[in-house]
Structure 1
């Protein structure tokens, strides 16, 4: 099988797997301790968690704290539901469902429009009564990099906090400044089941769940030292390999663009993370393509919304018709994708598509 779905999840880095094994059991059977216990095993586990926190924090701007969560969805909910005040929430039209659905659930929200190139329009006004602005850094479906610096400035000018979903940016490009930043380990070659909310110093959130308050009084529940350590190791490797990984992705992108000649690119080619290739071909039956190319793992849209049968809200937000959106595919590649794999997959996909008539 050839895996080209890096926006959905990434292969676990060997470095992350190795360190996780130490805290699932450990060579002497003492690695399973509760990091919140006061005895020696607990303190050892707590030390592993704090090392991981430092490693994860190294990819964020200075001047903030890392709150471990079960993933980016929980981090986003903590940021949005824990944001104090009675004002409105402004979110871009192409946010992940974790942001859009939470905004709808909270009520009193405003949608920020998006241009045809996939970038949220930074010239639009933020309503005066806004308490929180949420714009992601890299879109998960089309890979377009958003003008988060401008929206952070606009948020500050209106007295609002700024939340950035940096799930697809973290570990790949420098994370832009914000008041809160949500990330997920499994999108950066770490384990599933853990993420983080970075909170700028001075930002006061309200806890949204009751319990032990293990994470700075904001997030309750026993942390997994193995998951934390795996996240930390993955973050450290990403930091060390950022330039190397980016160069590899750029080479894959250029080759893929050549091999999919005649297909239309969805979203900007320049303001984009080039590990995301979202393409469309008029009349393409994506379900049939997936059936014909079962050994190539790719997506018909966002994995988080797969199976819904609904056209992508992101592709519709940039002006595509429902028919065009349903004739689009997303290819995601990265660190462990070889050029040979990419070329083989492109040959299979383009040939199968050509046979549809």
Structure 2
């Protein structure tokens, strides 16, 4: 039995999305930059997709630009803002995606910017008071704080951050990769300068994403040649990805309430099942236990370390796909920078379970039974090793 619970990494493409993109793999194959009928037909599909996305997010069509995904979009937003406005100070957090942290680190190493990290509480939430103090002390600031954390699921109050950014004349970029298609947006009512999304996080194809650039900004492109995307990103458009992106987002909005109710049900059931385990020492990271303060599709769990091997690999051997951010000493170096930023000595194995509309209660029950079995076998093996060691010592 194969069970996929790593949907924060990527999701299965929705069958309706596949149906929508098929014509652009067969009959509608023209280059959108071509002036003939074949090109015009495809160009119209791109314009329609842009209009769909802008309408769903409360943006203008000239504020939506198609890119390869959120990593490119984050790079474009940060690099573009720093260069266009000669930004010298950036406020971010230590639990941002590496596409943000590593991009900013390049500029810091070059001496172009100074980075301030906003304080986080014990659950990984942004300290808004500290953020305001940083803004007061540092004019000409760029804020980069994500909406939903990809590892622990925490939801940040980006509306409140937008208010502070406007008050202190700061530029606000937010990585919304995990929340697009899950939480509502109205960009006409919230102060955001740059916002990003990736299709494959909400049942669209990989390699397609977008960036929202508030129309008051004009940043230089870093892919030049051809003038596509209103001059913002050169190169022939990924028509299949763009059409799939728009269709996936449309479907997400159409069934958002139903899907979120389903995901909340899965999350509550899974957490309750883990609470009932007799393994002992299981805790939840960040706000991932809450259906109000974190995303309904993410549960980040700290498990006691196994005496041999790791839980993620053992679940994988049983056909269960989950994500790990391990910190146990027997699992080697690395681990999660998010967990390390919140917990100073995370002496447990960190496992992220992330669900989608395609997951079921029955699958989660199977996972819980698998976890019980793994720990039971581990205790038996540990007892055998102890007896063997004792006998040798005797």
Q: Deviations over 1:26-78 (max 9, x none)?
A: 3xxxx111111111100000111111112222332334611000000100111
Normalization by structure 2: what TM-score?
A: 0.84
Distance 2:325 2:18 in 1: 29
Q: 1:285 to 1:76 in 2, by over 3 A?
A: farther
Q: Does 1:206 align with 2:212?
A: no
Q: Does 1:48 align with 2:45?
A: yes
Shift of 1:314: 0.8
Residue of structure 2 in register with 1:59 after alignment: 56
Q: Deviations over 1:301-352 (max 9, x none)?
A: 39xxxx994121111122242433xx11000001111221121122112331
Distance 1:61 1:350 in 2: 46
Residue of structure 2 in register with 1:265 after alignment: 284
- Higher RCO (C-alpha 8 Å, min separation 6): 1
Q: Does 1:226 align with 2:240?
A: yes
Q: 1:221 to 1:131 in 2, by over 3 A?
A: farther
Distance 2:307 2:35 in 1: 59
Q: Deviations over 1:194-222 (max 9, x none)?
A: 10001122122222232123112111111
Residue of structure 2 in register with 1:314 after alignment: 338
Q: 1:355 to 1:58 in 2, by over 3 A?
A: farther
**CA contact under 8 A between 1:188 and 1:238: conserved in structure 2?**
yes
Q: 1:267 to 1:45 in 2, by over 3 A?
A: same
Select which of 64, 68, 75 maps to 1:77.
75
Q: Deviations over 1:138-160 (max 9, x none)?
A: 00000010121222222222212
Normalization by structure 1: what TM-score?
A: 0.92
Q: Deviations over 1:167-226 (max 9, x none)?
A: 100001113731110100000100000100011221222222321231121111110211
- List gaps (5 residues or longer) in structure 1: none
Shift of 1:353: 3.1
Q: 1:169 to 1:285 in 2, by over 3 A?
A: farther
Determine helix, strand or coil for the equivalent of 1:216: helix
Map 1:124-139 to 2 at 5 A. 124=130, 125=133, 126=135, 127-139=137-149
- List gaps (5 residues or longer) in structure 2: 380-394
Flag the structure with larger Rg: 2
Residue of structure 1 in register with 2:29 after alignment: 32
Residue of structure 2 in register with 1:275 after alignment: 297
Q: 1:230 to 1:286 in 2, by over 3 A?
A: farther
Distance 2:259 2:124 in 1: 24
Distance 2:225 2:267 in 1: 46
Residue of structure 2 in register with 1:335 after alignment: 357
Residue of structure 2 in register with 1:298 after alignment: 322
Q: 1:287 to 1:200 in 2, by over 3 A?
A: farther
Computed over aligned residues only, the root mean square deviation of the Cα atoms, in angstroms, reads 2.0
Distance 2:80 2:350 in 1: 36
Residue of structure 1 in register with 2:15 after alignment: 14
**CA contact under 8 A between 2:323 and 2:352: conserved in structure 1?**
yes
Q: 1:32 to 1:287 in 2, by over 3 A?
A: farther
- Return the structure number with greater helix share: 2
Shift of 1:280: 0.6
